[in-house]
Amino acid sequence: VERIGIATQEVAPLLPRMFAAYHRVRLALDSIQGTRYQAACFDINEQLDQLFVTGFLVDAPWPWLQEFPRYLEAIVYRIDKLRSGGQSRDDELLNTTTHYWNRYLQRAEEDAQLQRISPELIEYRWLVEELRVSLFAQHLGTRVKVSPQRIEKQWERV
């Protein structure tokens, strides 16, 4: 019970920033829904679904949970870039992130069926999130150094 109280005290200050950023994402996303940005909208919606999956406050490792506001700000920045004519660049970057993300989803599904939890896969998942920030909103910085090469090295550990 004491650990729950401590965890609650750590998470509580993060929530207002996280949900304010989420609200900004939703407003920005609503402004481009149904436009020529379908691929980006699909990707962003999937990203949000995976970030805010049921139980995320408990399941997301604390160091990564603290990064949620930055992940959300990166999405807003990405949408702003799309609206200002950056669709071809977004499509290019989306191809890069989709490759790594689909690989993660496939392995995560396999692990779930086997009731296996792989710390290496969890690390890989969050590196992909950091890569998104690095590619779509580089000015926000990343928690760890990330590149396609580093993600490939992490995949070898998976």
3-state secondary structure 75-133: HHHHHHHHHCCCHHHHHHHHHHHHHHHHHHHHHHHHHHHCCCCCHHHHHHHHHHHHHHH
Q: CB within 8 A of 151, min separation 6: which ones?
A: 100, 124, 127, 128, 131
Spatial separation of the C-alpha atoms in residues 97 and 93, rounded to whole Å: 6
**144 secondary structure, DSSP code:** S
Residue range of the domain that includes 50: 2-157
pLDDT in tens, the chain (158 residues): 566 666 677 888 899 999 999 999 999 999 998 878 999 999 999 999 999 999 998 899 999 999 999 999 999 999 999 999 999 999 999 999 999 999 999 999 999 999 999 999 999 999 999 999 999 999 999 999 999 999 999 999 99
**Overall residue count recorded for the chain in this entry:** 158
* Tokens linked to 84: 């200002």
Kindly state the greatest CA–CA separation across the chain. 52
Check: CB of residue 127 under 8 Å from CB of residue 154.
yes
Spatial separation of the C-alpha atoms in residues 49 and 103, rounded to whole Å: 17
- Residue 10's pLDDT is 81
| Domains contained in the chain, number | 1
- Residue 6's pLDDT is 66
Rounded to two decimals, what is the model's pTM?
A: 0.92
Spatial separation of the C-alpha atoms in residues 45 and 4, rounded to whole Å: 31
